[in-house]
Structure 1
Amino acid sequence: MRMPDAVWRKRAGLPALMDALGAERDEVRIVGGAVRDALLALPVSDVDLGTIHPPAESAERIARAGFKAVPTGIAHGTITAVLPDGPIEVTTLRRDVETDGRHARVAFTDDWHEDAARRDFTINALSAEAGSGLIHDHFGGLTDLDRRLVRFIGDPLQRIAEDHLRILRFFRFHARFGIGAPEPQGLSACARRANDLMSLSRERIAQELLKLLAVPNPAPALAEMLSAGILTAILPEIGGDGLDRLKRLVPIERELGLADPLRRMSALLPRDAALVDSIGARLKLSNAQRRRLVSASRGELDTSPSLLAHEIGVQGAIDRLLLAGDAAGVASLQGWQPPRLPITGSALIALGMPAGPRIAATLARVERRWASEGFPDRDRALAIAAEEAAAP
């Protein structure tokens, strides 16, 4: 089997780069996700190359071809070639020397089979000759791709021992590529080793979980994770209620074209702002992400969509409306931005109010009334200001 022809295979600079790395002698191949996605007729964004050349030689060849060579992961053999249409990672073939579930020490090799054997799943171990597109399949990845089966290479327990994050990757890849139930041996191994996830940094867990939540429908995979005790090891606060909220949210997001992994995470978490904030801190999320999760967890919908958007921002309002199942409210906000109050504190001073802290407090009351009346024009805003300025 050969790779299908595609525009991305002829992107500016890529043929020249592959020639420089020895495409004619099968010294460089397209590897990993680009091969998998091309065979599934999915868009290919990132193109990774594997090569038999040591990193220093790869860098020299890249430079001789006229491209900038950046040693982005030199300890693991990765040189980034900066092409006109974007970067390409070129990685020397490797074998694991030592692993502890979080990090790996590698040695370089020129054996394509040995390099493929250290990958996680059979569908990720495919490689294609750079020139002809001839596909090399060492572990039955083509068959698994046809079956839409995500299967560990070799012993699943050994693969997980090498990198504990593969537990979460198993469910993410199944959610994206799999059909039906997860592969039984892999599922069993993940369940047995779920507590290994506790040794990982919270940042890595959060990143992988958000990637899972970004797939078109993560709910079935998350249901498997909940049943297998995987979620208990990383987010024990997630239960059936959260999964039910996610199941209701996904089709509404799909209908409106508004899928969002952070909002989906909010659906999974309890409706307790303080607890949600502590979870966000534990996962080392950014301050902006934590604020958004906390806002979404509050869930109050006692005002109109536009007034809610004015109070907490359009994004926050959309989060709450979607989580409440209000598709119509969300539709009313699409393309809409809250208007600005058409007067400032100077209008209150012109009405005779002395400068000072009372100005800000009065202006806030004016804005609340103005927004509650549907954002009327400046004349009405001035009239409201006059009433508030005259109030004792």
Structure 2
Amino acid sequence: MADSVKATLPAADWTQRPALAELVAALGPGNARWVGGAVRDTLLGCDAHDIDAATPLTPKQVIDRLDAVGIRTIPTGIDHGTVTAIVEGGNVEITSLRKDVSTDGRHAKVEFSSDWKEDASRRDFTINALYADPGTLEVHDYFGGVADLKAGRVRFIGDARARIREDYLRLLRYFRFQTRFGGELDAEAEEACAELAPGLKGLSRERVGWELQNLLSLPDPSATVARMRDLGVLQVVLPESGRHEADKLAELVAAERVADLAPDAMRRLAALLPAVPPVAESVAARLRLSKSQRERLACAAARDVRDGDDPRALAYAVGIPCATDRLLLTGGDVGPLRDWDCPSFPMKGGEIVERGVAKGPEVARVLRAVERRWIAEGFPDRVRVEALLDEELGANR
């Protein structure tokens, strides 16, 4: 079948980089097309970030041709046909055209191909299977991706169930792309996601965790997450999240906007979990989150409606990032933390010893008592701290 829609890529800045022209020339006439996100985003008038290219050349041929003109390469995914070219302005991933030989829902065994449409047919969504000629900027669209972009429709290529069974992560990617680009829901895709959601259990937890973070980092994923729950998808990847928690996400997104804060995946993941630290720690371990992410998730789970009584005291106790999370999650005011540097307590135990208190538990008790009063008074200066110490020691005498 011929290209379904004729379109031309706008002449964005990245399409005119001299380094990319050198790269294309090194690969040879007809041996490179831009593909995927850069093409899709440029058609939408959005900034393109990662630049990917497809080629009928084998990885070895790519390496040899680039090496001949002094362009360094890294075999980042050579078993699957991907070579990274190191060029000025941003590296380019170059992938040989491929066809699937077999899939198991997580990985695919591929063979190299010379057929552009065959390569396009193994991709996930029509809007990601768009290729652009580097010279003419003509867009090659084999499955109606340009029309889908214009309609705000995220549609699997071919049979949705078949595409998901090839790699179940595509099920979660569908919801992420629906959040970014979708407007009109695709009934076949929604039904396939609901039916095949149990297959997500076979994916590595790291892949699921990463995809969840990508989704939750988008400006407003709350409606999508609610629909994931209605379709039974959220329960598979995040069974700890009930309907109340799914609704809580929408409230958090609204609170972030009022506070003029950027989207934050960990804060939003905390909203989707009950306020129970052991549950948060269990989810963090299952999703293979980093140590800092685990600690933040557990801290947010320890939230209490009383956190808003004194935001700065809370921030002093748990740190500004966690305090911000807890305040937003409980409806508190983060205003007092804006442009505020959390101070350090300006007194050490040795100063109390110098005042005649014997080393031991009494020093620690006095130090804690003075610190509590210092916090309650709004972190006054050193002069006031010394006065608080005088009062505490006088009271003890």
Please list the CA deviations of residues 14-40 of structure 1 after superposition, one character each: whole Å capped at 9, or x if unmatched: 221122122xx2210100010000011
What's the counterpart of residue 223 of structure 2? 220
The answer to whether the Cα contact below 8 Å between 2:31 and 2:56 also exists between their aligned partners in 1 is: yes
* Aligned counterpart in structure 2 of residue 380 of structure 1, from 367, 380, 384: 384
Q: How does 1:296-315 map to 2 (within 5 A)?
A: 296-300=300-304, 301=307, 303-315=309-321
The answer to whether the Cα contact below 8 Å between 1:348 and 1:389 also exists between their aligned partners in 2 is: no
What's the counterpart of residue 369 of structure 2? 365
In the TM superposition, what is the alpha-carbon distance from 1:325 to its structure 2 partner? 2.6
- Residues 362, 56 of structure 1: alpha-carbon distance in 2 compared, 3 angstrom cutoff: farther
The answer to whether the Cα contact below 8 Å between 1:28 and 1:50 also exists between their aligned partners in 2 is: yes
Structure 2 gaps, min length 5? 1-6
In the TM superposition, what is the alpha-carbon distance from 1:67 to its structure 2 partner? 2.3
In the TM superposition, what is the alpha-carbon distance from 1:360 to its structure 2 partner? 4.4
Q: How does 1:1-392 map to 2 (within 5 A)?
A: 1-11=7-17, 13-22=19-28, 25-180=29-184, 182-255=185-258, 256-300=260-304, 301=307, 303-326=309-332, 329-356=333-360, 358-389=362-393, 391=396
In the TM superposition, what is the alpha-carbon distance from 1:267 to its structure 2 partner? 0.7
In the TM superposition, what is the alpha-carbon distance from 1:388 to its structure 2 partner? 4.1
In the TM superposition, what is the alpha-carbon distance from 1:168 to its structure 2 partner? 0.5
In the TM superposition, what is the alpha-carbon distance from 1:84 to its structure 2 partner? 2.4
Partner AA of 2:11 in structure 1: D
Please list the CA deviations of residues 242-300 of structure 1 after superposition, one character each: whole Å capped at 9, or x if unmatched: 12111111122123132111111111111222212111111111221121112112222
Separation in 2 of the partners of 1:101 and 1:31? Answer: 24
Partner AA of 1:252 in structure 2: A
The answer to whether the Cα contact below 8 Å between 2:197 and 2:232 also exists between their aligned partners in 1 is: yes
The answer to whether the Cα contact below 8 Å between 1:276 and 1:297 also exists between their aligned partners in 2 is: yes
The answer to whether the Cα contact below 8 Å between 2:120 and 2:129 also exists between their aligned partners in 1 is: yes
Separation in 2 of the partners of 1:354 and 1:122? Answer: 75
In the TM superposition, what is the alpha-carbon distance from 1:378 to its structure 2 partner? 0.6
Partner AA of 1:151 in structure 2: R
Separation in 1 of the partners of 2:251 and 2:219? Answer: 14
The answer to whether the Cα contact below 8 Å between 1:51 and 1:92 also exists between their aligned partners in 2 is: yes
- SS state at 1:50 partner: strand
Separation in 2 of the partners of 1:151 and 1:372? Answer: 57
The answer to whether the Cα contact below 8 Å between 1:202 and 1:282 also exists between their aligned partners in 2 is: yes
The normalised TM-score by structure 1 is 0.95
Please list the CA deviations of residues 46-99 of structure 1 after superposition, one character each: whole Å capped at 9, or x if unmatched: 111111111011112222332220001110111111122232111111111111
In the TM superposition, what is the alpha-carbon distance from 1:240 to its structure 2 partner? 1.4
Separation in 1 of the partners of 2:76 and 2:365? Answer: 53
- SS state at 1:211 partner: helix
Mean Cα deviation higher: 165-174 or 316-325? 316-325
Separation in 2 of the partners of 1:388 and 1:108? Answer: 78
Please list the CA deviations of residues 79-130 of structure 1 after superposition, one character each: whole Å capped at 9, or x if unmatched: 1111222321111111111110011111111111111000000000000011
Mean Cα deviation higher: 140-149 or 349-358? 349-358
Partner AA of 1:78 in structure 2: T
In the TM superposition, what is the alpha-carbon distance from 1:198 to its structure 2 partner? 0.4
Partner AA of 2:81 in structure 1: G
The normalised TM-score by structure 2 is 0.93
Separation in 2 of the partners of 1:170 and 1:367? Answer: 52
The answer to whether the Cα contact below 8 Å between 1:150 and 1:174 also exists between their aligned partners in 2 is: yes
The answer to whether the Cα contact below 8 Å between 2:226 and 2:247 also exists between their aligned partners in 1 is: no
- SS state at 2:34 partner: strand
- Name the % identity: 46
The answer to whether the Cα contact below 8 Å between 1:120 and 1:152 also exists between their aligned partners in 2 is: yes
Separation in 2 of the partners of 1:358 and 1:80? Answer: 63
- SS state at 2:76 partner: strand
Separation in 2 of the partners of 1:331 and 1:10? Answer: 44
Separation in 2 of the partners of 1:302 and 1:365? Answer: 22
Separation in 2 of the partners of 1:62 and 1:283? Answer: 39
Separation in 1 of the partners of 2:256 and 2:63? Answer: 45
Partner AA of 2:50 in structure 1: D
The answer to whether the Cα contact below 8 Å between 1:348 and 1:386 also exists between their aligned partners in 2 is: no
The answer to whether the Cα contact below 8 Å between 2:101 and 2:109 also exists between their aligned partners in 1 is: yes
The answer to whether the Cα contact below 8 Å between 1:347 and 1:382 also exists between their aligned partners in 2 is: no
Separation in 2 of the partners of 1:195 and 1:176? Answer: 24
In the TM superposition, what is the alpha-carbon distance from 1:368 to its structure 2 partner? 2.4
Misfit runs of 4+, over 3 Å: 354-362, 386-392
